[in-house]
Chain A
């Protein structure tokens, strides 16, 4: 019987690389900044309408990922 462990290890490597505080915080920060820009831009009312949801999502995400391990 042979056990192929490589996909699990690869998945864990990817998870280790992505699910760290640094990249997730950077992503959350980008989403917050995008929300603020959407709130204040003068071009599209649709973007303005979605700005609050975007900022709220980014803020909640930032609060959660700031508890993730370094």
Chain B
């Protein structure tokens, strides 16, 4: 009885002593309250995403240079776009990017799916092996770039010694990062080492989502393991593999940090991927308008690929 009267006293006091703000908030509709909560996020999004994007689009049509901010800005129309899309050097950078993207995606998908297939068998100690395999993915690209630079050293690098051990060549007879033929493969190896575990994780999720009863039905029908793999495992895991391929494709298309740390685009321009060319145009040549146009071209490409990625993601979700 006492408790009841105490609680009602508290309620009474709360109703009687209403602060002004609380009274005003109570008068607001649910819709207004929702807008009140999401407005800071929208403002932040506009300030740090949408405005810079619109500003970059504007700059891509001008001769603006960030190191001469006070110089008069002249409207150039689509000149920079025309210049970039007819430039053989930029075209070459796109081909270097393509080499990097295609080979990393192929190697990561094949190895990642293979590892996922093995891990899915749940052998003794598979949990520990999963953790060990996932370790490279958890490292920072800056750290990975730096320590692979040491591993690739011709004099002291472990990588050269391992290759020398298996091939019989002298360890110092080749330079992974300094050779025109080997350097594109050096960055492919590092990226594959770092991101294969990620592809493995996605493929493992795909393999674990296949119900056991399908395999049991196949066993009843006396389907061989090979037939089960091609008719059940691969088709059912395919949306997940597609997801991994698209994600890695998009990420590697805009790869910058690791390539910059390992080779900086060299030797010459053999590993100069699109993002390195963009950085050089923007912050070494200070051609801000030109680099803005280039950034927009890359952005549209990534945005287009992201649309396909979202479509694939929805397909996976609907399963």
What residues make up the interface of A, taking CB atoms closer than 8 Å to B?
25, 28-29, 32-33, 35-36, 39-42, 45, 48-49, 51-52, 55-56, 58-59, 62-63, 66
Please give me the 9 A-B residue pairs with the lowest Cβ-Cβ distance, nearest first. A40-B98, A32-B304, A59-B304, A49-B85, A62-B307, A55-B304, A42-B95, A48-B91, A40-B94
B103-135 interface (Cβ within 8 A of A): none
Q: Provided the pairs A25-B311, A48-B85, A52-B297 are in contact, do residues A36 and B304 lie with their beta carbons within 8 angstroms?
A: yes
The total of interchain contacts (Cβ-Cβ below 8 angstroms) comes to 52
Most buried by A among B94, B305, B308: B308
Question: Do A55 and B301 have beta carbons less than 8 Å apart?
Answer: yes
Shortest A50–chain B CB gap in Å is: 8
Partner of B81 from the list A28, A52, A59 (CB cut-off 8 Å) is A52
Complex Cα distance, B164 from A9, in Å, reads 74
Partner of B308, one of A33, A40, A48, A52: A33
Q: In the complex, what's the smallest C-beta–C-beta distance from A20 to chain B, in angstroms? A: 15
Which residues from A are CB-within-8-Å of B307? Answer: 28-29, 32, 59, 62-63, 66
CB distance from B83 to the nearest CB of A (A): 11
Q: Name the interface size band of chain B.
A: 10 to 19
Selected from A32, A41, A51, the residue in CB contact (under 8 A) with B305 is A32
B211 at the interface (CB under 8 A from A): no
Cβ–Cβ < 8 Å partners of A45 in chain B: 86, 88, 91
Say how far B149's CB is from chain A's closest CB, in angstroms.
27
Chain B nearest CB from A30 CB (Å) reads 10
Contact of B303 with A59 in the complex, beta carbons under 8 Å: yes
Residues on A with C-beta less than 8 A from B85 are 48-49, 51-52
Q: B300: CB under 8 A from chain A?
A: yes
Question: In whole Å, how far is B272's beta carbon from the nearest beta carbon of chain A?
Answer: 14
Nearest chain B CB to A31 CB, angstrom units: 9
In the bound complex, what is the Cα–Cα distance between A67 and B18 (angstroms)? 46
Q: Complex: how many Å from CA A56 to CA B146? A: 37
B183 within 8 A of A: no
Contact A52 B311 (CB under 8 A): no
Q: Are A58 and B304 in contact (CB under 8 A)?
A: yes
From A28, A52, A58, residue with most partner B Cβ within 10 Å: A52
Min distance, Cβ B295 to any Cβ of chain A, angstroms: 12
Taking CB atoms, residues of chain A closer than 8 Å to B62 are: none
Nearest-neighbour CB distance to chain B for A69, whole angstroms, equals: 16
CA–CA, A35 to B253, complex, Å? 14
B97 contacts the other chain (Cβ, under 8 Å)? Answer: yes
Query: Contact between B308 and A29 (Cβ–Cβ < 8 Å)?
Result: yes
> B95–A40 contact, CB under 8 A?
yes
B69 to chain A, nearest CB (A): 28
Instruction: Name the one of B88, B95, B97, B300 contacting A52, with C-beta atoms under 8 angstroms.
Output: B300
CA distance A14 to B121 in the complex (A): 49
Q: A25-B311, A45-B91 are in contact. Are A36 and B297 (CB under 8 A)?
A: no
- The answer for the CA separation of A17 and B255 in the assembled complex, in Å, is 41
- A and B contact pairs by CB, cutoff 8 A, 13 listed: A29-B307, A29-B311, A32-B308, A36-B305, A39-B301, A45-B88, A48-B94, A49-B86, A51-B85, A52-B300, A52-B301, A59-B300, A63-B307
By a CB distance below 8 angstroms, the chain B residues around A62 are 304, 307
Given contacts A32-B308, A52-B297, A59-B300, 6 further A-B contacts (CB under 8 A): A33-B308, A40-B98, A40-B101, A52-B85, A63-B307, A66-B307
With most chain B CB atoms within 10 A of its CB, the pick from A25, A39, A45, A66 is: A39
Residues in chain A near residue B101, CB distance under 8 A = 40
B94 touches A36 (CB 8 A): no
For window 134-193 of B, CB contacts with A under 8 Å fall at none
